[in-house]
């Protein structure tokens, strides 16, 4: 059914009327809610204020009563005062508490946060290590609710420090938590010893609970969350889960050697040398306003077989950087936490681990400026890949030399694409030109491109290193902070991103000027679209990465000009093509089959055309 002008106007007026009604109804509802809140606030002011202090006291008293009732033979430990014991080994400062006999605070002394404060990996009310023990007939109590005796601190012959917490009940059963902090080491040995274990735990099973919350450390909390993972080694296989933006969980039915909550550059891990039987881990990603990256609640089942009524569980904590070289020395595969490659590009982690990282570390030992280290690394990579680049340009030069003949074939065959394709392939073959000659070298550079993409986002050595206007090469550089966020761009202007985009654009412009066929409108504008897209994609990436792309693009442009203008001899290429034409053409079986199929299709098409004309 068609619609005349009046009908269209009518529909438009009805639409405007409905939008007007929706607007005024919304405004009226808002006004109603404001009035309701005003009335509620007025009524609330007339009510007597609740005695919040008394309420808190009553709640605390009730909780204390519950703990006292559950404590059984450990009641004498409930009201003991908290005592703290500090150990500093040169790289971490650990504050132990006798409340639960556990670490209360862990500070990394060699790293700073975005505002210059020490990096703290453990300092939150939600951080604890605990397990239930039998405290009496039908009663259990978590060890986190018990106050152990004051710690005994011992300095050992190897300069390690051992901190021990002990607690006994009225019947002589004893619990010992022992921690050994080694000098200049991020790994803390943790041992749980139970005397009378057959009575303290049921069926020789300890249900261990570990809660940890990681705080914001980096400048860009959104990027830090994207780079944060829950990592684990289960059934002798490493894997990880991206934390995402909401809560989730992971259940393990097979033995687990360790789990870790890894931020962008730091990690907190719990390790069991004898493996946890099973595990159940939940994690929550709070709102950015909390300045927390994630909160985890992990429950483990540990086999605590007692010998002579006693048992000992050897555990370990790791609180430190996600540094590949540091984690590698522990021989428990925690170095896999460093994301040097994942997903489809998981294979590039081997390039990063066994080539880029050693070369990077070698250069870093001899060059003070991290920006110059990246420059020298880029120069080395471009030098190694220059033969591939050269072959690509030679292939492009050969294709360009054949352009006049290809244009003649297009004019000859017109709309017959199949016939043109057959003759074009014959021309390439007779001239010794491979159509994939320019594509394959470019494809071979993708692994290098992706390995550097992962490398510069995951290497902690870049953290806090400044270069030119970039204050931290592990985060984005900013020459201007925008007072609002622009979709697909962000709330800042990264100069290294602009230089990387401009150099990419210059490469595209130069490449388009030397293309043998720029009649296709899609191919004509595509090279310009990609560099502009980089402006939004790269704006939030680390400055080290965008600085690398700037250098790499500049070198590529220079090499492209030099190779094509001064190294490639076009007359020699034409002579080589003519020489190749004189040689007998040998085709592979695959090429023969393709040619045969094309010939068959051509005959079929010719028969169809004849039948149509008749």
Residue 507: half-sphere exposure toward Cβ, Cα within 13 Å: 24
Q: What is the pLDDT of residue 527?
A: 67
Instruction: Residue 170: count other Cβ atoms within 10 Å of its Cβ.
Output: 11
DSSP 124: S
Instruction: Residue 274: count other Cβ atoms within 10 Å of its Cβ.
Output: 12
How are beta strands 205-215 and 229-234 bridged, if at all? unpaired
Q: What is the pLDDT of residue 455?
A: 93
Q: What is the pLDDT of residue 445?
A: 75
Two structure tokens written together for 548: 């690398």
- In sequence order, what E strands does 304-430 have? 310-321
pTM here? 0.77
Q: What is the pLDDT of residue 285?
A: 86
Closest alpha carbon to 477 in 423, 540, 432, 530? 540
- Which ranges of 402-520 would DSSP assign to H, the alpha helix? 403-413, 417-431, 439-444, 446-458, 495-513
List of the chain residues with pLDDT < 70:
1-73, 75, 245, 396, 427-442, 513-527, 568-599, 601-614
Indicate the angle between helix axes 446-458 and 543-562, nearest 10 degrees: 150
User: How long, in residues, is the chain?
Assistant: 614
Q: Is residue 328 classed as helix, strand or coil in its secondary structure?
A: helix
Q: What is the pLDDT of residue 260?
A: 94
Return the residue matching tokens 């093509």.
577
Give the long-range contacts of residues 180-184, CB within 8 A, separation 24 or more.
Answer: 180/156, 181/87, 181/89, 181/92, 181/94, 182/89, 182/158, 183/89, 183/90, 183/158, 183/159, 184/89, 184/90, 184/91
CA 274/CA 257 separation, integer angstroms: 7
User: Could you please report the per-residue DSSP string of 436-449?
Assistant: TTTHHHHHHTHHHH
DSSP 356: I
* Whether 456 contacts 472, CB under 8 Å: no
Q: What is the pLDDT of residue 1?
A: 37
* Whether 108 contacts 122, CB under 8 Å: no
Q: Where are the domains of the chain?
A: 73-338, 476-567
Q: In CATH, what number does 73-338 get?
A: 2.70.98.90
DSSP 467: B
User: Could you please report the per-residue DSSP string of 23-37?
Assistant: HHHHHHHHHHHHHHH
CA 48/CA 313 separation, integer angstroms: 55
* Whether 84 contacts 101, CB under 8 Å: no
């Amino acid at each position: 059914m068609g619609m005349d002008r009046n009908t269209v106007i009518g529909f438009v007026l009805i639409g405007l009327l409905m939008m007007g009604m929706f607007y005024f109804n919304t405004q009226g509802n808002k006004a109603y809610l404001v009035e309701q809140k005003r009335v509620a606030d007025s009524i609330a002011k007339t009510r007597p204020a609740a005695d919040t202090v008394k309420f808190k006291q009553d709640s605390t008293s009730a909780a204390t009563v519950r703990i006292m009732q559950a404590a059984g033979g450990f009641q004498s430990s409930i009201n003991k005062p908290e005592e703290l014991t500090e150990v500093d080994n040169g790289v971490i400062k650990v504050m132990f508490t006798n409340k639960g006999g556990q670490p209360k605070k862990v500070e990394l002394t060699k790293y700073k946060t975005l505002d210059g404060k020490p990096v703290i990996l453990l300092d939150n009310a939600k951080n604890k290590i605990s397990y239930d023990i039998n405290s009496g007939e039908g009663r259990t109590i978590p060890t986190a609710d018990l106050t152990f005796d004051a710690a005994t601190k011992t300095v050992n012959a190897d300069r390690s420090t051992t901190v021990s917490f002990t607690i006994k009940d009225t019947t002589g059963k004893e619990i010992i938590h022992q921690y050994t902090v080694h000098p200049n080491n991020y790994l803390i040995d943790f041992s749980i010893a139970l005397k009378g274990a057959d009575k303290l735990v049921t069926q020789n099973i300890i249900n261990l609970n570990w809660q940890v919350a990681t705080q914001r450390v980096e400048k860009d909390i959104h990027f830090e969350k994207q780079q944060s993972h829950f990592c684990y080694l289960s059934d002798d296989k490493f894997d990880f889960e991206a934390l995402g933006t909401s809560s989730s969980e992971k259940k393990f039915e097979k033995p687990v050697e360790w789990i870790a909550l890894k931020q962008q550059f730091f990690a907190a891990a719990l390790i069991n040398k004898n493996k946890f039987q099973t595990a159940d881990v939940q994690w929550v990603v709070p709102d950015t306003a909390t300045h927390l990256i994630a909160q985890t609640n992990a429950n483990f089942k540990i086999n605590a077989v007692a010998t002579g009524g006693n048992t000992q569980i050897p555990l370990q904590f790791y609180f430190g950087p996600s540094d590949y070289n540091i984690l590698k020395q522990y021989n428990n595969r925690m170095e896999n936490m460093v994301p040097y490659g994942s997903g489809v590009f998981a294979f590039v982690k081997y390039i990063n681990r066994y080539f880029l990282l050693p070369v990077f570390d070698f250069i870093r030992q001899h060059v003070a400026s991290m920006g110059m280290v990246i420059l020298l690394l880029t120069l080395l990579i471009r030098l190694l890949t220059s033969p591939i680049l050269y072959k690509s340009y030679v292939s492009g030069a050969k294709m360009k030399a054949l352009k006049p003949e290809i244009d003649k074939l297009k004019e000859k065959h017109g709309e017959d694409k199949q016939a043109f394709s057959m003759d074009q392939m014959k021309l390439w073959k007779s001239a010794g030109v491979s159509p994939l000659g320019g594509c394959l070298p470019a494809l071979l550079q993708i692994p290098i491109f992706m390995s550097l993409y992962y490398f510069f986002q995951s290497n902690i050595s870049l953290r806090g290193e400044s270069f030119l206007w970039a204050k931290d090469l592990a985060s984005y550089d900013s020459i201007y902070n925008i007072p609002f966020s622009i979709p697909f761009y962000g709330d800042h202007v990264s100069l290294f991103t602009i230089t990387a985009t401009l150099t990419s654009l210059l490469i595209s412009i130069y490449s388009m000027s030397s293309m043998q066929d720029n009649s296709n409108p899609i191919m004509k504008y595509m090279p310009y679209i990609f560099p502009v897209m980089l402006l939004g994609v790269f704006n939030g990436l680390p400055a080290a990465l965008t600085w690398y792309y700037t250098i790499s693009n500049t070198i590529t442009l220079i090499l492209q000009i030099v190779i094509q203008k001064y190294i490639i001899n076009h007359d020699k290429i034409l002579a080589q093509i003519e020489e190749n034409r004189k040689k007998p053409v040998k085709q592979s079986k695959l090429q023969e089959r393709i040619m045969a199929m094309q010939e068959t299709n051509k005959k079929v098409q010719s028969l169809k055309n004849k039948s149509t004309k008749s």
